[in-house]
Amino acid sequence: MRIVVCVKFVPDIQSDRQLGPDGRVVRDGGDGTLNELDENAVEAALALAEEHDGQVVVLTVGPDDAVDAVRKGLQMGADEAVHVLDDDIAGADAIGTATVLAAAVRRLSEDAPVDLVVTGMAGLDGLTSLLPTAIAELLDLPALPLASSLTVDPVAGTATVTRRLDHATETLTADLPVLVSVTDGINEPRYPNFKGIMAARKKPVTTWTLADLGVDPATVGAAGARTRVLEAAPRPPREDRVLVTDTGDAGARLAAWLVERKLV
Amino acid sequence: MTVTPVLVLLDHAPDGSLRPPVRELLTLARGVAGEAGVHGVWAGDEDLDAALPVLAAQGVSTVHRLVTAADVHLSAVLADGLEAALGASGASLLLLVSSFDNKEAAARLAVRTGAGVVTDADGLTVEDGAVVAHKTVLAGTWTTRCAVSAPSAIVTVKANAVPAQDAASPSSPQVVDLPVEVRAGSTRVRLVERTEHAASGRPDLGSANVVVVGGRGTEGDFTAVEELADVLGGAVGATRVATDEGWIGHDAQIGQTGVTVSPRLYVGAGVSGAVHHRGGMQASGTIVAVNSDPDAPIFEIADFGIVGDLFTVLPQAAAELRRLQG
Ligand SMILES: Cc1cc2nc3c(=O)[nH]c(=O)nc-3n(C[C@H](O)[C@H](O)[C@H](O)COP(=O)(O)OP(=O)(O)OC[C@H]3O[C@@H](n4cnc5c(N)ncnc54)[C@H](O)[C@@H]3O)c2cc1C
């Protein structure tokens, strides 16, 4: 079984994240990291590969630093890594990024068939959750998004997930190849150990450009983006903040404050 | 101003009643629609009669009722239906309630139609002929305005983005059956099972105006949290710690990987305000925090913070509110 995991390099959510004047997330603070939710995707892929004797390729699209995201995947135990790196990708929106990732998966499947594409449920920078299903649509794959559990039956050639939506819980199944996105509830990601870190140094990271993938730069990146940030500003600080230490009447004071603010 | 109508997906419960945020979306839609007005799209076999008075009050002119044997709970099938409805209505702007399933359909539609898509908007304007969505990003710490440069736009809108208001003059919506050609690929996913979550008797967490949240500090006793929620007519939420401990269902988890809420009023009790939790609530209108630790990070974002024991503060607040409300 061959599994491709799409991962993203994002600013650490514990850091002071900023938007630049162009409305893009500032990515040069040196505190970038593998998107936490993608660790669950890597873990899910590694667990399946171990169970069914498979191979895992980690794939990312992003600037120079983004290679750190796939390196972390290699340290966790992935076999191969691909980094799509091209200045013309800067400013891509979710659909543009999905277009590049889909092209890279297509290219990978020319070497050997890809049975499963796995992603995290969202990138913690944009949090749009659009990407997984967009990749599936571009590759004409069935999508099983938001999996909180995932099983693959290699004999039947099917994947089955359960997922929790706002109003219902669903079990979905589809024939391979499929795309699956996973939640952080699906597993506990492993930490890279010393052996994994050493082994990762020897593993190759393939770098592809848009030309390597046959993707027209005009369709992705800022040139192809269908949305444009006009304005970005830090949210103004909250005004008139109150902090009290309870001396016996704080509950009553809260009630009065809520009434005064017309919040009840 | 757009001359084409604005199309709104009419999310509804299994009994055919509209989900509360739909009225907000219709209100927003009217604000940008101009002459061509607002159309709705109804996906599902449920009877829409119960929804008609609301749609009339909202001034909806036409409802496209999708007709298909395939299950519209599959997002690829929903995308097929929405594509048909975009065609039938001629709309160049589609509004959907921000939910995971709706975003899945939005992603597919955007790929197919070349539309620009913005998710989790909390406001909408038309500027120089372009749809502009307003949204907060990076866990509610930044606000942005984002223009769609493609000829058509898909915007998913968060609950409580605007107060719902009826139209100045009601309409008599025309319901039109719309046969949907389902793509061969769309039914490759099979829905083995679907269990609707039981109604709690309280408002929906995702769209409630008021949310009262319990964290580890409740030590599993949600009585005080529930009591305050009921006095305020609000929903009950929880941190991941509380749901992982099994103190309350997983559906109650608020945060980056749980439900995102932006109610008018958020009350967090025994909640530390970890960054993962803040991502799901920091955009709330007013934030109240009750925590025994004066250094809890949630106080950094609270409009009203109380350093105290939730087991005394919450019941006192509930009792006082009951008294004030008479
Ligand atoms: C990948 C990932 C994703 C995550 N996603 C989410 C998510 O979506 N949502 C989420 O909530 N968390 C999430 N978490 C967990 C998150 O990091 C925190 O662990 C969690 O939010 C803490 O919950 P808490 O505030 O209830 O508990 P704690 O952080 O333990 O805080 C409990 C607070 O209660 C106070 N307290 C104790 N007793 C009382 C009392 N009697 N009265 C008043 N106050 C009292 C304490 O002072 C303390 O501040 C995620 C973590 C990871 C790693």
For residue A202, the number of C-alpha atoms closer than 13 Å in the C-beta half-sphere is 4
Q: Is B206 in the pocket of ligand 1 (CB under 6 A)?
A: no
pLDDT band for B265, please (50, 70, 90 cuts). Answer: very high
CB B40 within 8 A of CB B10: yes
Give the residue, out of B271, B278, B299, B314, with the most ligand 1 atoms within 8 A of its beta carbon, to mutate for a pocket test. Answer: B271
Task: Tell me if B197 and A243 make a contact (CB, 8 A cut-off).
Answer: no
Instruction: List, for residues B96-115, the tens digit of each pLDDT value.
Output: 999 999 999 999 999 999 99
Going by C-alpha positions, the residue among B133, B129, B135, B91 that lies closest to residue B113 is: B91
* Alpha-carbon span B221 to B238, nearest angstrom: 12
More confident residue, B234 or B258: B234
ipTM confidence: 0.92
What is the pairing mode between strands A158-164 and A9-11? unpaired
User: Lowest-pLDDT range, A26-30, A248-252, B314-318?
Assistant: A26-30
- Indicate which residue's Cα is closest to atom 18 of ligand 1: B274
State the Rg of chain B over Cα.
21
> In whole numbers, what is the pLDDT of chain A averaged over residues?
92
Query: Which pTM does this prediction carry?
Result: 0.93
CB-based contact, A261 to chain B, within 8 Å? yes
B208 contacts: CB under 8 Å, gap ≥ 6: B159, B202, B234, B235, B261, B263
Q: Is A12 in the pocket of ligand 1 (CB under 6 A)?
A: no
Optimal mutation site among B316, B322, B323, B324, interface A, most CBs of chain A within 10 A: B316
Q: Is B39 in the pocket of ligand 1 (CB under 6 A)?
A: no
Give the residue, out of B267, B292, B314, with the most ligand 1 atoms within 8 A of its beta carbon, to mutate for a pocket test. Answer: B292
CB-based contact, A33 to chain B, within 8 Å? no
Instruction: List, for residues A34-91, the tens digit of each pLDDT value.
Output: 888 899 999 999 999 999 999 999 999 999 999 999 999 999 999 999 999 999 999 8
Three-state SS sequence of chain A: CEEEEECCEEECCCCCCCECCCCCECCCCCCEEECHHHHHHHHHHHHHHHHHCCEEEEEEECCHHHHHHHHHHHHHCCCEEEEECCHHHCCCCHHHHHHHHHHHHHHHHHHCCCCEEEEECCCCCCCCCCHHHHHHHHHCCCEEEEEEEEEEECCCCEEEEEEECCCEEEEEEEECCEEEEECCCCCCCCCCCHHHHHHHHHCCEEEECHHHHCCCHHHCHHHHCCEEEEEEEECCCCCCCEEEECCCCHHHHHHHHHHHCCCC
The token duo for A232 is 């970005």
CB-based contact, A263 to chain B, within 8 Å? yes
Instruction: List, for residues A140-197, the tens digit of each pLDDT value.
Output: 999 999 999 999 999 999 999 999 998 899 999 999 999 999 999 999 999 999 999 9
pLDDT at B257: 83
Using CA atoms, how far residue B315 sits from A119, B230, B319, in Å, is 44, 12, 6
The pLDDT > 90 percentage for chain B reads: 88
Instruction: List, for residues B32-60, the tens digit of each pLDDT value.
Output: 998 899 999 999 999 999 999 999 999 99
Which residues sit opposite A144 in a β-bridge? Answer: A180
Helix axis angle, A94-111 relative to A131-139, nearest 10°? Answer: 50
B273 CA to centre of ligand 1 in angstroms: 6
pLDDT above 50 for B2: no
Mean pLDDT of B187-197: 95
* Alpha-carbon span A27 to A173, nearest angstrom: 37
Residue B296 CA, closest ligand 1 atom number = 49
* Alpha-carbon span B100 to A164, nearest angstrom: 10
Mean pLDDT of A1-6: 97
pLDDT at A29: 61
CB A187 within 8 A of CB A44: yes
pLDDT above 60 for B71: yes
Q: How far is A204 from chain B (nearest CA, A)?
A: 32
CB A120 within 8 A of CB A182: yes
CB-based contact, A186 to chain B, within 8 Å? no
pLDDT at B313: 98
* Alpha-carbon span A77 to A58, nearest angstrom: 10
User: Lowest-pLDDT range, A14-28, B19-33, B123-137, B190-204?
Assistant: A14-28
Task: Tell me if A235 and B141 make a contact (CB, 8 A cut-off).
Answer: yes
pLDDT at A28: 66
Q: Establish whether the linkage from the previous residue to A154 is cis, with ω within 30° of 0.
A: no
B222 CA to centre of ligand 1 in angstroms: 15
